[in-house]
Structure 1
Amino acid sequence: MTDYIKIIIKNLNPAILEANLLLDFYDTVNLSTGEIKTINRNGHKVTPSKNATYNGLEFKIYDSGTITLAGSLHKYWNNGAHNYNDFNNVAFLWVLRDLKKKFNIEPEQCILKCLEIGINIFPPIHTNVIIDNCFLHKTKTFEHKHNSDEGNYKQWRHSQYIIKLYNKALQYKKHFDIDTEIMRFEIKYLKMQKLNERGIYSLQDLVNYGLHNFKDEVLNEWQNVLYYDNTIQIDLLSTNLKRAVLEYSNNNYWTRLLANNQTKNFTYHRNQLKKIVSRNSNKVQDLTAEIISKKIDFVNGKTIHIDHLTIKSKQIVLEYENKIKKRLCKVTGLNISMQKDNSNSLSHTGLKYYYKTDKKVFAQIKRRYLSSRWSSSDFETQIIEIAHNIRNAKNNQKTKQVRIYPPEQVNFLSIFAQ
């Protein structure tokens, strides 16, 4: 259920991370001019830091010694590639254990500054139809965003949190074998007051609290969406109700009520719509709520005992894993499931995929595998050169292995293994 996080890591010596071979830190400084980067591409002020990316998580070390970590825990589980499959409680605990193993980061050191709680479901009707008929959240109007690579979604911004509704399948269908609808509904906590009131300050507190305890809040926020159900049997309605439904099906009708401060009118007509939907439709919003409820129970493994201290591997059966076999690049360790089945290292397809879906991961690859000679070249040339250097790195690893252990040399380990 967790996805994006932003945390401050307390009581960790930055030198430990800087010395970690899995992290390739770079400064937010133009190395050719010495200019410190203080403004990003969106015009926002940037505090100079040392940055590194691993499996979609970005580490930042500031001059003050403060360390932050931001990114998708769900993508980390999938080796940086995607977050469209199920990310259950066992997988969440595995990620925390892996962060401890690889980077010496304890969950109690991780102070939450931003957190996404969400769920992926198979909706009862087409995802885009549901999205199109979601008008308001409480009294907030939506921001409607669409991108062929990033998917179709709406979001409603409140003072402390954002509600998001995605077509998650659309985001990844071009790159993975997804033959079904996937809708994602999530809460993104921008401020920590709601979490702090529950005693949640760190990732360890989140584990202790239990992700299943967010179920009621997720369901309540879904029901707070003003949803027009297009399965209403209009022919069975009276003339007056038909006129009302025609108005209710128009998002502008609801925004006009709010704009004119007609609060009582808004509440009355919203209740009227609920009555009409309850008596004359397939109740799509309620069906969706039921699916969300069952899915939250499923991913939190209520029917099995989970002890995160005894997790030994990540060979856990998740709902979509039977369809997508995770394959990793032999050089970068990144997920290359979006490439041809016979590929074993990151190629042009995978590089372009990461460029479209995660610019930070692509930038990490580019820094490591593109020489300065090609830094000013066009995009296609850079892709060719990066892929070439990754293949060379793979071949060099093989050559080194053969040099150290020639085929004709007796391997004592193989003797003892017999």
Structure 2
Amino acid sequence: MIDFIKIIIKDCDRTILERNPLLDFFDTINLTTGELKTTNRNGNKVTPSKNASYNGLEFKIYDTGTITFAGSLHQYWNNGAHNYNDFNIDAVMWVLDDLKTKFDIEAEQCILKCLEIGINITPPIATNDILDNCFLHKTKPFEYQKNSDEGKYKQVQHSQYIIKIYNKTLHYISKGFEIDTEIMRFEIKYTKMQKLNERGIFNLQDLINYRLFNFKQDLLKEWQNILYFDNTTRIDHLSTKTKNALLEYSNPNYWAGLLANNQIENFKYHKNQLRKITFENSKNVQYLTAEIISKKIDFLNINTTRIDHLTILSKQVVLKDSNNQICKVTGVNISMQKKDSILLSHTGLKYYYETDKKIFEQIKRRYLSKVWSNSNFQIQIKEIAHNIRNKSSNKNIKQKKIYQPTQLNVLTMLGI
């Protein structure tokens, strides 16, 4: 659920970062004068700094001594490549562990200066249709934005936060990724920390202690604060008066006009009328989307089982129950497959994708070649299953080379 963050690293020894082989720091220097750059492209003054990037995070060591990093923790988890897949609580903890291991940065040191909390979902209708029909957030109009890194999206800016809605599929397809599902992202970007500080959230550790699940109500509330025109509304049986009202309601300029003329009560009345007509005559896309957001947040905040030796041993203990089966290559439970299955197959992979993303991603990282990392889901499933079969086959070939058919195998005689 966490995406972009901006952090000030408190009590950090700059030499540890400067000597880190993963960070290649550079200064921004005027090649003509040899002076350090002190203004940005808009002519505003900036403090000189050393900059370095790693997996989508940008580290800065300022001449004043302040040290920061900024970027997407979600992208960091994907080696800086993208943030369109699921990023659950286990993945967040993995990133924090990795920052500690590689850069000696503790979560308590990371003072929050900007934070994006959001969710990727598969919407009930096409994402672009939803974006086109999000007119207002509270009383402010949505505006389309275009950014080379974030693609095309809609946003509303408030004094302390920004509401954003993205078409993630379109964004990453334009970058050459192969995605065969609709992915919509809805997020709150906290640009000032007052609302978070009031909850006792000052650093990354506070954020984890608070629990990301507790942002569920914030996201659902802000989603409901959107004035949405549902284009699935059926009009054939409606009265002429209602049809004419809907025609006006479908025009964002109508709502902007009410607000511009300070007709607040009139605005509230017609907003309620729109919601009533929508509830009675449409697929209720806004409500269905809220349900999907809610369920996805629940799913991402379940602590999942990690694939490690302890996990495998625990599953082997469960194996004493004859109803359980274990893949002889990966060590994961494959009871959801056919009774004679011995390897994790398409069925099991899809099961873990739907029920335990952490296990699926760990299997994917181990058994999917980078050649197929940007392919669609079906191809990835096929290649992972193929590589698991190859692993098993290679083991059998190796075993046969060690023990020829005519050679006496003591282990076989002992039933091992």
Same fold (TM over 0.5): yes
Matched-pair contact (CA < 8 Å) for 1:86–1:318: no
Secondary structure of the structure 2 residue equivalent to 1:226: strand
Matched-pair contact (CA < 8 Å) for 1:122–1:183: yes
The residue correspondences of 1:286-301 to structure 2 (distance < 5 A) are 286-301=287-302
The amino acid of 2:280's aligned partner reads: R
Task: Tell me the CA shift for residue 147 of structure 1.
Answer: 6.7
Q: What TM-score, normalized to structure 2? A: 0.74
Residue 239 (structure 1) aligned with residue 240 (structure 2): yes
The residue correspondences of 1:147-296 to structure 2 (distance < 5 A) are 150-174=150-174, 175-296=176-297
The amino acid of 2:162's aligned partner reads: I
How many Å separate the matches in 2 of 1:74 and 1:254?
36
Q: Structure 1 41/29 Cα, relative in aligned 2: closer, same or farther at 3 Å?
A: same
Corresponding residue of 2:135: 135
Task: Tell me the CA shift for residue 71 of structure 1.
Answer: 0.3
The amino acid of 1:221's aligned partner reads: E
Matched-pair contact (CA < 8 Å) for 1:85–1:319: no
The residue correspondences of 1:13-412 to structure 2 (distance < 5 A) are 13-30=13-30, 33-146=33-146, 150-174=150-174, 175-301=176-302, 304=304, 316-317=358-359, 337-338=373-374
How many Å separate the matches in 2 of 1:50 and 1:32?
19
Matched-pair contact (CA < 8 Å) for 1:148–1:171: no
Identify which range, 232-241 or 253-262, moves more after superposition.
232-241
How many Å separate the matches in 1 of 2:46 and 2:69?
16
Task: Tell me the CA shift for residue 327 of structure 1.
Answer: 5.7
How many Å separate the matches in 2 of 1:20 and 1:147?
31
Structure 1 residue runs of 5 or longer lacking an equivalent are: 329-334, 340-418
Superimposed CA distance per residue, residues 378-413 of structure 1 (whole angstroms, 9 cap, x where no aligned partner)? xxxxxxxxxxxxxxxxxxxxxxxxxxxxxxxxxxxx
How many Å separate the matches in 1 of 2:92 and 2:152?
26
Task: Tell me the CA shift for residue 145 of structure 1.
Answer: 2.3
How many Å separate the matches in 1 of 2:148 and 2:204?
34
How many Å separate the matches in 1 of 2:282 and 2:75?
38
Superimposed CA distance per residue, residues 194-245 of structure 1 (whole angstroms, 9 cap, x where no aligned partner)? 1001100000000100000000000000000100000111112111111110
Identify which range, 236-245 or 4-13, moves more after superposition.
236-245
Task: Tell me the CA shift for residue 29 of structure 1.
Answer: 2.1
Matched-pair contact (CA < 8 Å) for 1:59–1:67: yes
Task: Tell me the CA shift for residue 324 of structure 1.
Answer: 12
Corresponding residue of 2:9: 9
Task: Tell me the CA shift for residue 162 of structure 1.
Answer: 0.1
The amino acid of 1:41's aligned partner reads: R
Task: Tell me the CA shift for residue 45 of structure 1.
Answer: 2.6
**Greater relative contact order: 1 or 2 (C-alpha under 8 angstroms, separation 6 or more)?**
1
Secondary structure of the structure 2 residue equivalent to 1:236: coil
Corresponding residue of 1:383: none
How many Å separate the matches in 2 of 1:107 and 1:260?
49
Matched-pair contact (CA < 8 Å) for 2:305–2:358: no
Q: Structure 1 203/150 Cα, relative in aligned 2: closer, same or farther at 3 Å?
A: closer
Superimposed CA distance per residue, residues 262-287 of structure 1 (whole angstroms, 9 cap, x where no aligned partner)? 11111110011010111111100000
The amino acid of 1:83's aligned partner reads: N
Q: Structure 1 148/228 Cα, relative in aligned 2: closer, same or farther at 3 Å?
A: farther
Secondary structure of the structure 1 residue equivalent to 2:220: helix
Q: Structure 1 246/323 Cα, relative in aligned 2: closer, same or farther at 3 Å?
A: farther
The amino acid of 2:259's aligned partner reads: L
Task: Tell me the CA shift for residue 32 of structure 1.
Answer: 5.6
The amino acid of 2:359's aligned partner reads: V
The amino acid of 1:245's aligned partner reads: L
Secondary structure of the structure 2 residue equivalent to 1:213: helix
How many Å separate the matches in 1 of 2:25 and 2:148?
32
Identify which range, 49-58 or 23-32, moves more after superposition.
23-32
Task: Tell me the CA shift for residue 47 of structure 1.
Answer: 1.2
How many Å separate the matches in 2 of 1:163 and 1:321?
35
Matched-pair contact (CA < 8 Å) for 2:118–2:185: yes
Superimposed CA distance per residue, residues 308-349 of structure 1 (whole angstroms, 9 cap, x where no aligned partner)? xx99xxx93358996998766xxxxxx99459xxxxxxxxxx
The amino acid of 1:317's aligned partner reads: I
How many Å separate the matches in 2 of 1:65 and 1:155?
34
**Greater Rg by CA:** 2
Corresponding residue of 1:384: none
Q: Structure 1 10/326 Cα, relative in aligned 2: closer, same or farther at 3 Å?
A: farther
How many Å separate the matches in 1 of 2:191 and 2:62?
22
Structure 2 residue runs of 5 or longer lacking an equivalent are: 312-356, 376-416
How many Å separate the matches in 2 of 1:87 and 1:189?
19
Q: Give the RMSD, CA atoms, in angstroms.
A: 2.7
Secondary structure of the structure 1 residue equivalent to 2:52: strand
Q: What TM-score, normalized to structure 1? A: 0.74
Task: Tell me the CA shift for residue 44 of structure 1.
Answer: 3.4
Corresponding residue of 1:413: none
Matched-pair contact (CA < 8 Å) for 1:134–1:225: yes
The amino acid of 1:241's aligned partner reads: T
Task: Tell me the CA shift for residue 39 of structure 1.
Answer: 2.0
Q: Structure 1 79/288 Cα, relative in aligned 2: closer, same or farther at 3 Å?
A: same
